[in-house]
Amino acid sequence: MKHTLLKLEPLIWLLFGQGIMIGTMLLTAWVLVVGLAVPLGIVPADALSFERAHMLGSNIIGRVVLLGLIVLPMWKGVHHMRHLFIDFGTGRDELIAPLLYLVALAGSLLGLIAVIRL
């Protein structure tokens, strides 16, 4: 398992790096508008009515952006959580790391299905 993790580290790092960079850029907009401005009434709720949201999301660019919003934060998230476990000396990285990365992988696959079924 340790050997497999070593072999996959560069790929995980690349995903994690993009998770921070592009993920942060995309999340800024999502959290500001979908998470705060619309729920607080700063932006009218019909900006995210079902018809409009579905129209935006089912566009090819919309699907790619939504996929990015799901996948990229997850890989950044689990990679940093793995570092937290290591830093706090919990040990068992050979157990924790594959578990965390499997969560991100499962989430990424579900994300792909989610944007396809829009």
**Under rule CB under 8 A, which residues in 19-78 are in contact with another protein?**
19-40, 43-48, 50, 52-57, 65-66, 69-74, 76-78
SS3 content of the chain, % helix, strand, coil (to 5): 85, 0, 15
At its nearest, how many Å lie between another protein and the CB of residue 51?
8
Residue 102 as a binder of another protein (CB under 8 A): the answer is no
Residue 13 as a binder of another protein (CB under 8 A): the answer is yes
SS3 call for 50: helix
At its nearest, how many Å lie between another protein and the CB of residue 95?
15
Please name the residue that has the structure tokens 């949201």.
53
DSSP 8-state secondary structure symbol assigned to residue 76:
H
Q: Between 48 and 98, whose beta carbon lies closer to another protein?
A: 48
Q: Which of 4, 18, 60, 86 binds another protein (CB under 8 A)?
A: 86
| Angstrom distance (rounded) from CA 27 to CA 47 | 18
